């Protein structure tokens, strides 16, 4: 149970008494009720409770953070969840790598010595 004697977000959401042995209390603080609501909506309270019991105490905080992030992502994008965001970022990374490769290729075509190249890189906007 939380230190202020108010029930944790999970117990408040589930409308049950929050005890000292509550598995959810350390991870679902009363100040952030939406975090548990999202996790409950996507994964269910019993599944989260089972998962927390199976994990080492040192891994539970990270697991809850991951569950909360995935739940929020899944609510925003029910089909792909956070995988959609990861895919978008990977695609953007490929585009930027391609642009960087093209810029390096263009720079190499100028056949400049290393000192001139260094000067141009440290002084953007300089025209040759």
| Domain chopping of the chain, boundaries | 1-76, 82-127
Phi, psi angle pair for 59, to nearest 5°: -100, -10
Written as tens digits, the pLDDT of the chain (128 aa) is 544 578 999 999 999 999 999 999 999 999 999 999 999 999 999 999 999 999 999 999 999 999 999 999 999 999 999 999 999 999 999 999 999 899 888 877 777 777 877 887 788 777 66
pTM equals: 0.69
Report the distance separating Cα 3 and Cα 66, nearest Å. 24
Nearest by Cα to 29 from 64, 2, 4, 50: 2
Q: What is the dihedral of CA 121, 127, 94, 73, to 10 degrees?
A: 80
């Amino acid at each position: 149970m939380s230190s202020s004697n108010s029930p944790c977000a999970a117990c408040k959401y589930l409308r049950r008494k929050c005890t000292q042995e509550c598995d959810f209390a350390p991870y679902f603080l009363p100040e952030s009720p939406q975090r548990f609501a999202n996790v409950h909506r996507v994964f269910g309270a019993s599944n989260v409770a089972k998962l927390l019991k199976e994990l080492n105490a040192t891994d539970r905080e990270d697991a809850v953070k991951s569950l909360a992030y995935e739940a929020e992502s899944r609510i925003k994008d029910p089909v792909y969840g956070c995988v959609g965001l990861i895919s978008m970022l990977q695609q953007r990374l490929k585009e930027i790598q391609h642009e960087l490769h093209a810029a390096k290729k263009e720079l190499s075509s100028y056949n400049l010595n290393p000192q001139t190249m260094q000067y141009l890189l440290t002084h953007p906007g300089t025209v040759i």
